[in-house]
Amino acid sequence: MNGEERVRLFLENAAKAAAGTHLLPGPEALRDVLAGIVPPGVPVYCPGLTAAEEAVADLFPNRVADYADAAATVEEVFGAVAETGTLACASVDGRAVQAGLLPAHHVAIVRRDRIFAELDDLFAEVVSAPPTNLTLVTGPSRTADIELTLAIGVHGPERLDIIVV
């Protein structure tokens, strides 16, 4: 499977899991897409640990220093898995994986070259130096009780947007 096929499959499967999906023609479109996704005035956690995060951090005048105070997190994630539409969030380079799980809205930026065809490919990438924590996220949080009553956002974000750059 080539790179474009991986991207297409990832976006299809992420959309099936109820994530909002956005494919950018290039990194220059990132600011415009984020301006349409993140409502103005909400407290946003954007760690600023990658070039993509630094490039958009000034979009958020209500940027907070702690994800616990945020309504939305905008971050570049470690990678993704095409076969399932899954995000891989890793505790590397000072990144807290909880940042994408606690706020109600998670906006994940994924680089095209970090979309792996299968879960085995992702694990092969980390086997030599595994992160302390690797969290796999497929769609917004959802759970059901014994009567099959569905609840969204109980164990994680109720809204997930994925931007592929």
pLDDT at 93: 84
Residue 14 pLDDT > 70, yes or no?
yes
What confidence tens digit (pLDDT) does each residue in 123-152 have?
999 999 999 999 999 887 656 556 666 555
Question: By C-alpha distance, which of 117, 149, 134 is closest to 3?
Answer: 117
Helices (H), 1-80: 3-16, 30-37, 51-56
> What is the average pLDDT value for the chain, to the nearest integer?
90
pLDDT at 102: 87
The radius of gyration of the chain's CA atoms, rounded to the nearest angstrom, is 15
Looking from the CA of 48 toward its CB, the CA atoms found within 13 Å total 11
Q: State percent of the chain over pLDDT 70.
A: 90
Any idea what DSSP says for residue 39? P
pLDDT at 26: 82
pTM above 0.85, yes or no: yes
Domains in the chain: ranges and CATH: 3-164 (3.40.50.10420)
* Residue 29 banded pLDDT, cuts 50, 70, 90: very high
Amino acid identity, position 64: V
Across the range 52-59, mean pLDDT stands at 94
CB-based contacts of 37, cutoff 8 Å, min separation 6: 20, 22, 107, 161, 163
* Residue 32 banded pLDDT, cuts 50, 70, 90: very high
Q: Angle CA(114)–CA(11)–CA(30) in degrees, nearest 5?
A: 70
Across the range 96-101, mean pLDDT stands at 87
Q: Higher model confidence: residue 148 or residue 46?
A: 46
CB-based contacts of 82, cutoff 8 Å, min separation 6: 1, 5, 6, 7, 9, 10, 13, 115, 116, 117, 118
pLDDT at 147: 64
Residue 54 pLDDT > 60, yes or no?
yes
Across the range 14-33, mean pLDDT stands at 93
Looking from the CA of 130 toward its CB, the CA atoms found within 13 Å total 7
Q: CA torsion 135→124→4→106, rounded to 10°?
A: 10
pLDDT at 146: 62
